[in-house]
Amino acid sequence: MVSIKDGIIIALENKNGVFNTETLDTLKQLTKRFKKFEEIDKDDVTSLYTADNIIGTEDGMDVKSFYKRVPKSEEKLKQLRENVVNNEMVFGRLVSTDETVTVIIAEIGDDVFTQKFYNEILETAKASQTDDIKVYVAGRPIVEGTMALLGPADMKKMVPIVILVIFLVLFITLRSFKGTLITLGVVFLSTIWAFGLMATVGIPIYAVSTMIPVMLIAIGVADGIHLYSHLQVFINHYPNATKKEATIDMIKHLWKPVVMTSVTTAVGFISLLTSQVYPVKYFGIFTAFGVMMAMVFSLVFLPAGIMIFGLPKAKPIDKDEDKGGHSHSKLANSFAVWIIEHKYVSIVGTAVIVILSIIGMQKIWINSSFLEKFEKNSEIVLTDKFINEHFGGTSTLNLILDANGKKDVFKEPAVLKLVDKMQKDVDGQLQIVGNTFSLADYINRMNKVMNADEEEFNTIPDSKDMIAQYLLLYEMSGDPENLNKVVDYDYEKANITFQLKSDNSKAMDASLAIIKTYKDDFHKLGITMNYAGSGYKGLVFTDLILEGQIMSLILSLIIIVVLLSLMFKNTMIGLIGSVPIIITALISFGVMGFLDIPLNTTTALLSSIAIGIGIDYAVHFLEQYRHNATTTDNRMVAAQKTMAHSGRAIIYNAIVVIAGFLVLLFSVFPPNRELGALVSLNMFTSFVGTLTIMLVLLYMSKVYFKKKNIEK
Convert the pLDDT of each residue in 367-415 to its tens digit: 767 777 777 888 888 888 888 888 887 888 889 999 998 999 999 999 9
Which has the higher per-residue pLDDT, 406 or 226? 406
pLDDT given for residue 700 in this prediction:
93
Taking a C-beta distance cutoff of 8 angstroms, is the pair 130, 22 a contact? yes
Q: Is residue 87 part of a domain?
A: no
Write the CB contacts of 154 (distance below 8 Å, at least 6 apart in sequence).
Answer: 210, 667, 668, 669, 672
Compute the 3-state secondary structure of the chain and give helix, strand, coil in percent, each to the nearest 5: 65, 10, 25
pLDDT given for residue 322 in this prediction:
44
Q: Is residue 684 part of a domain?
A: yes
pLDDT given for residue 535 in this prediction:
74
In angstroms, the Cα distances linking 512 to 118, 298, 443, 592 are 31, 52, 25, 25
Write the CB contacts of 71 (distance below 8 Å, at least 6 apart in sequence).
Answer: 21, 24, 77, 79, 80
Residue 325 has pLDDT above 50, yes or no: no
Per-residue pLDDT band at 320 (split at 50, 70, 90): very low
Q: Is residue 628 part of a domain?
A: yes
Residue 434 has pLDDT above 90, yes or no: no
pLDDT given for residue 327 in this prediction:
44
Number of domains into which the chain is organized = 1
Residue 3 has pLDDT above 70, yes or no: no
pLDDT given for residue 323 in this prediction:
42
Which has the higher per-residue pLDDT, 474 or 60? 474
Cα gap 658→307, rounded to integer Å: 30
Convert the pLDDT of each residue in 473-526 to its tens digit: 888 877 777 788 899 989 999 999 998 888 777 778 888 899 999 999 999 999
Per-residue pLDDT band at 462 (split at 50, 70, 90): very high
Q: Is residue 671 part of a domain?
A: yes
SS3 509: helix
Per-residue pLDDT band at 359 (split at 50, 70, 90): very high
pLDDT given for residue 664 in this prediction:
82
Convert the pLDDT of each residue in 66-88 to its tens digit: 999 999 999 999 999 999 999 99
Cα gap 253→233, rounded to integer Å: 12
Sign for the CA dihedral angle at 17, 20, 24, 27 comes to negative
Mean pLDDT of 17-21: 95
Indicate the helix (H) or strand (E) that contains 609: helix 606-629
Q: Is residue 202 part of a domain?
A: yes
Convert the pLDDT of each residue in 563-598 to its tens digit: 889 888 899 999 999 999 889 888 988 998 999 888
Residue 712 has pLDDT above 60, yes or no: no
pLDDT given for residue 464 in this prediction:
94
Q: Is residue 393 part of a domain?
A: no
pLDDT given for residue 510 in this prediction:
85
Average pLDDT of the residues of the chain: 86
The domain that holds 637 is classified in CATH as 1.20.1640.10
Q: Is residue 590 part of a domain?
A: yes
Indicate the helix (H) or strand (E) that contains 437: strand 433-437
**Angle in degrees, CA 594, 599, 605, rounded to 5:** 115
Q: What angle in degrees, to the nearest 10, is found between the helix axes of 243-270 and 278-309?
A: 180
Q: Is residue 343 part of a domain?
A: yes
Residue 420 has pLDDT above 70, yes or no: yes
Range of the domain at 272: 145-362+538-708
Cα gap 509→422, rounded to integer Å: 16
